[in-house]
Amino acid sequence: MSKELRNLFETSKHYSIKWEKYFEIYDDIFSKFRGKKITFVEIGILNGGSLKIWREYFGPDARVIGIDLNPECKQFEGNGVEIVIGNQSDPIFWDEFFKKYGKVDIILDDGGHTNLDQITTTIKSIENINNDGILLIEDTSTSYVSEYNSNPKYSFINFCKKTVDDLNYTFPFEKKKKFNFSLNKYIYSIQFYESIVVFKVNRNRTRTNKIITNKGINSGIRDFFMKGNEIYLEKYQSIFNKISFVRLTKFKKKLKNFLNTNKIKNYFN
């Protein structure tokens, strides 16, 4: 299927710039929307090439909208493509955009690629994406390039890592800190590819999780929870024998944490 998308790219009459491996990712994420009545938005028009590709790829029922800061891009309007001139790093632009066009199904960000562009686009558009919709931000490797990234601490990728933590903090057992800013009401999945991040939106799938059981036979089998991490302590039995019972539990816990951390810490380098 990505061959087909690639073919649309290669035969388009309008110039387009894309990274070669992106076509496989587009197909992973977008193929289920083909032939459907969806609204697709691409930020970053330049010579209009990619919009023509999407127009054909998604089929006649799709509404295809391009956004660019450069007013010259207006010339690519027509033949089933709508063009909006605006600045993706301006929150007011997004408010006006969604007021006029309503909720959308897919937003593909191939615009300015700075932290401010990518983060503003994410925080303003997520709540305006329909259930089962997608926000795909590309060229996220700009997070590692100083020209795009005025302060690495606040890079787009760091924002995504924080969003991954936030997503996990929704788990009911997890009582750790909550963030003041959260998109947890909308995002149920975040997918990372080389230089692409995909946010999947569905408000029903962000509901609070709960444990469920079935009516099957419970044979009372013991759960060996944590036991596998403790077998390494056996060879220290002679030391344990010398320690008073009162201090033993604390000592064992410390030793276990030390040994287990040593086994994995190299994988963090």
Ligand X SMILES: C[S@@+](CC[C@H](N)C(=O)[O-])C[C@H]1O[C@@H](n2cnc3c(N)ncnc32)[C@H](O)[C@@H]1O
What percentage of the chain's residues is helix, strand, coil (to nearest 5)?
Answer: 50, 15, 35
Of 25, 69, 84, 160, which lies in the binding site for ligand X, with binding defined by CB under 6 A?
Answer: 69
Which residue lies nearer to ligand X by CB, 39 or 114?
114
32-51 footprint of ligand X as x/- string (CB under 6 A): -----------xxxxx-xx-
* Segment interacting with ligand X, rule: CB under 6 A, options 75-83, 87-95, 143-151, 178-186: 87-95
From the CB of residue 120, how many other CB atoms can be counted at a distance below 10 Å?
A: 19
Ranked by CB distance to ligand X, the top (closest) residue is 112
- Rounded to a whole number of angstroms, the minimum distance from the CB of residue 53 to ligand X is 8
Q: What are the strands, taking DSSP E only, across 1-118?
A: 39-43, 63-68, 81-85, 104-109
Judged by CB under 6 A, how many residues of this single chain contact ligand X? Answer: 21
Tell whether residue 23 is a contact of ligand X (CB under 6 A): no
For the beta sheet containing 81-85, the strands, ordered from the edge strand earlier in sequence to the opposite edge, are: 81-85, 63-68, 39-43, 104-109, 129-138, 196-201, 187-193
Tell whether residue 88 is a contact of ligand X (CB under 6 A): yes
- Rounded to a whole number of angstroms, the minimum distance from the CB of residue 95 to ligand X is 15
Of 58, 68, 97, 104, which lies in the binding site for ligand X, with binding defined by CB under 6 A?
Answer: 68
Tell whether residue 70 is a contact of ligand X (CB under 6 A): yes
**Cβ distance 69 to 90 under 8 Å?**
no
Q: Alpha-carbon distance 32 to 146, whole Å?
A: 36
Q: Alpha-carbon distance 23 to 28, whole Å?
A: 9
Q: If 0-12 CB within 10 Å is exposed, 13-18 middle and 19+ buried, where does residue 225 land?
A: exposed
Of 105, 109, 110, 166, which lies in the binding site for ligand X, with binding defined by CB under 6 A?
Answer: 110
* Segment interacting with ligand X, rule: CB under 6 A, options 62-70, 176-184, 213-221, 261-269: 62-70
Of 12, 30, 52, 89, which lies in the binding site for ligand X, with binding defined by CB under 6 A?
Answer: 89
Q: Alpha-carbon distance 48 to 44, whole Å?
A: 9
Where along the sequence are the contacts to ligand X (CB under 6 A)? Answer: 16-18, 43-47, 49-50, 67-70, 87-89, 110-112, 117
